[in-house]
Amino acid sequence: MELGQVLESAALAAGAAIMAIHKAGADVQYKADRSPVTAADEEAERLILAALARHFPEVPVIAEEAVAAGRVPDISGGVFFLVDPLDGTKEFIAGRSEFTVNIALIRERAPVAGIVYAPALSTGFIADGERAERFEVRGQATIAKRQSIGCRSCGSALTAVASRSHATPETTRFLDDHGIDACTAIGSSLKFCLVAEGLADVYPRFGRTMEWDTAAGDAVLRAAGGQTRTLDGAPLLYGKTRQAHDADFANPNFIASSTDWSKGPATTTK
């Protein structure tokens, strides 16, 4: 199977498992960092890891729940997968639909392929190289419709997307500094995808994220013609370990946007 087919098959299987647990009702546990985890996270990750090991046994996988359990493979070769089996666990627990399955391939510190699948919405986004698509799912296992997507050109009236569960004063200040009145709050990596399909211009993130939270959505955005940059203007990199001031795989603040976003982050938000 080709990479895209493996990503789709693994994500759909994980999504079906998540929805079964969602329907039955999931018990919530808490990890050492007090973030929530459910059986849906664990079962989805098991299915994804099995699929990746079957088709790409030589490629290491950094997966959220495995890392939480202390299982971190060697990624010094520079090529590895990043997996968040259930991004938006808080949305999942709250009964909202904005949770996703995220799988991304990293090469030379950049996301070069990825899938974001929202099983409760029966829709997803996939990127491989310079191609980005939105797809619709019929039932839980059949992709019924595909559509190429791309970022839009920024007009005079800008639209932003921001985190529903992690709003910060810095985000509000960013919107004010750039005269952005229209802002949609949404959970999970779907924020990247809204910019990628031309429904928004910018996604400012002031607050902690991990690489598995962002890699798949970032892959879709970059393939759609967008960019994700840190506050100093550098591309967001992946495979960040031995960081002096944060944990392995933790991201700094960033701005995800269409490529003609020229205003950049205001200095007051740094």
Name the amino acid, one letter, at 232: D
Q: Among 222, 262, 259, which Cα is nearest to 238's?
A: 222
Bridge partners for 186 per DSSP: 163
| Helices marked H in 25-88 | 39-55, 64-68
Q: Quick one: the chain helix, strand, coil %, rounded to 5?
A: 30, 30, 40
Instruction: Find all residues with CB under 8 Å of 59, minimum gap 6, and list them.
Output: 52, 79, 80, 81, 105
CA distance 204 to 125: 20
Give the pLDDT of residue 34: 65
Place 268 in a pLDDT band, splitting at 50, 70 and 90. very low
Q: Which structure tokens are listed for 119?
A: 């099983």
Give the pLDDT of residue 100: 96
Q: Among 194, 193, 197, which Cα is nearest to 182's?
A: 194
Hey, CA dihedral for 67, 91, 100, 231, is it positive or negative?
A: negative
155-166 tens-digit pLDDT: 778 999 988 767
CA distance 171 to 209: 14
Q: Among 1, 105, 102, 91, which Cα is nearest to 48's?
A: 102
Hey, CA dihedral for 199, 93, 46, 136, is it positive or negative?
A: negative
Place 263 in a pLDDT band, splitting at 50, 70 and 90. low
Place 220 in a pLDDT band, splitting at 50, 70 and 90. very high
Hey, CA dihedral for 216, 221, 223, 228, is it positive or negative?
A: negative
**pLDDT for residue 179 is more than 60:** yes
74-90 tens-digit pLDDT: 999 999 999 999 998 88
185-215 tens-digit pLDDT: 888 899 999 999 999 999 999 989 999 999 9
Q: Which structure tokens are listed for 2?
A: 């080709």
Q: Among 223, 213, 219, 197, which Cα is nearest to 132's?
A: 223
The answer to whether residues 58 and 6 touch, using CB atoms and an 8 Å cutoff, is no
Bridge partners for 29 per DSSP: 37
The answer to whether residues 212 and 112 touch, using CB atoms and an 8 Å cutoff, is no
Question: Whole-model pTM?
Answer: 0.92
